[in-house]
Amino acid sequence: MHLSKRVGGHRGARAPIPRESRTIVADDNSGVDALTEEALAAAAAEAEKAFAAAADLDALAVAKTEHIGGKSPIALAQRAMGSLPKDQKADAGKRVNIARTRVSDAFDARRAALLEERDQAVLVAEKIDVTLPASRRPVGARHPITVISERIADVFVGMGWEVAEGPEVETEHFNFDALNFLPDHPARTMQDTFHIAPYRHAPEAGPAGSATSSGPDASGAEGSRQVLRTHTSPVQVRSMLERDLPIYVVCPGRTFRTDELDATHTPVFSQVEGLAIDKGLTMAHLRGTLDAFARALFGDETRTRMRPNYFPFTEPSAEVDVWFPDKKGGAGWVEWGGCGMVNPKVLIASGIDPEVYSGFAFGMGMERTLQFGNGIPDMRDIVEGDIRFTLPFGIQS
């Protein structure tokens, strides 16, 4: 009676389980079923599907936890291997490893693809547009006078002529006397010519204390006073003295005269002169040379004409004009330069026998030639050095 009361006093309490009954395991085959080949393949396929569906790395991390983490089907299957008989564990382990490798490879492939997509997105977002125009350093260009000088030289070199040069500071002998300029010729005065002041070195003590000077006097190094050459004709004289006959030279260079700078004049300008000395040369050869020269510069339809004129160093002499149909104010003839047969006195002064040899010479201003060929109305645009004006000529050449 005492026992029944005690039990009755704990109504609802469970009766103690016998000790031997605690070792009995419920009949649950879920862990073993997870080790079958079909179950592992299904788990791997589900993992692959989840990884493929991950749109970014964060979503892939969630899928990794579900299919590779400690509670994933593969992990549960691996733990279930402990309940298998020893003879079945080896085969089950192979199946689990195959499934685990399949899942791991799928994860790695998807992660690599998402990383590549992320890197590409970063490159697009942070890219530098290299198609934008860069700030380039300005390039240099030759001056228009240099361009036209080289064109002229090319024309005559193509004819078999040579290019000759000479000093810009010249003696009166080569600039005037040897070219048949008489002593009272107006060009020799200060109104047309820049004369170079004579110079002397500091006096040195001579014998018995006398002072001497080692510098040249006003007569210059070659026996006459020095000037800034007023034309490039002195180069012709030097060529006749220094070169063997026959002579065919073209002489480009700077010249100087006391002119005011205006639309058609400049105190420093460039000339090109030509000289031909050979047996039997006539005005016909001169005319043919000038026609070929003009057409090479201004076009095949260019027309020229000659008008009688006077120059001390040629006889007969002429002015050569060029016909320009597009001249401002209407088509017309424009003076280009001077020409003529070399004066016999000039030949004799250079040691050439005028009875055997004859020659012709011509000279043109390069600035005026550049004006003709490019329709430039004002010579100051050429000589003042404005880079905005001169640059296109140097680039186009």
Q: Please write the tens of the pLDDT for every residue from 20-41.
A: 433 333 334 545 566 777 888 8
More confident residue, 365 or 204: 365
- What percent of the chain clears pLDDT 70, i.e. is strictly above it? 80
- What percent of the chain clears pLDDT 90, i.e. is strictly above it? 24
| Known binding-site residue numbers | 315
| Known binding-site residue numbers for Mg(2+) | 315
CA distances from 202 to 197, 220, 331 (A): 16, 17, 61
Look at residue 293 in the predicted model and tell me its pLDDT: 93
Q: How far is CA 235 from the centre of its chain?
A: 37
Look at residue 153 in the predicted model and tell me its pLDDT: 93
CA distances from 1 to 4, 16, 40, 185 (A): 5, 20, 60, 169
Q: Where are the domains of the chain?
A: 29-126, 144-196+221-396
What mean pLDDT is reported for the chain?
79
Q: Which of 35-49, 155-169, 356-370, 381-395 has the lowest mean pLDDT?
A: 381-395
Q: Which fold has domain 144-196+221-396?
A: BirA Bifunctional Protein; domain 2 (3.30.930)
Look at residue 66 in the predicted model and tell me its pLDDT: 85
Look at residue 89 in the predicted model and tell me its pLDDT: 77
Q: Please write the tens of the pLDDT for every residue from 191-246.
A: 588 888 775 554 554 444 444 444 444 344 445 688 888 888 899 999 999 999 99
Q: Please write the tens of the pLDDT for every residue from 257-298.
A: 887 777 667 788 888 999 999 999 999 999 999 999 999 988
- Token pair for 346: 């000039």
Decide: pTM greater than 0.75: no
Q: Please write the tens of the pLDDT for every residue from 70-128.
A: 888 888 787 887 778 887 778 778 888 888 888 889 889 989 999 999 988 888 888 87
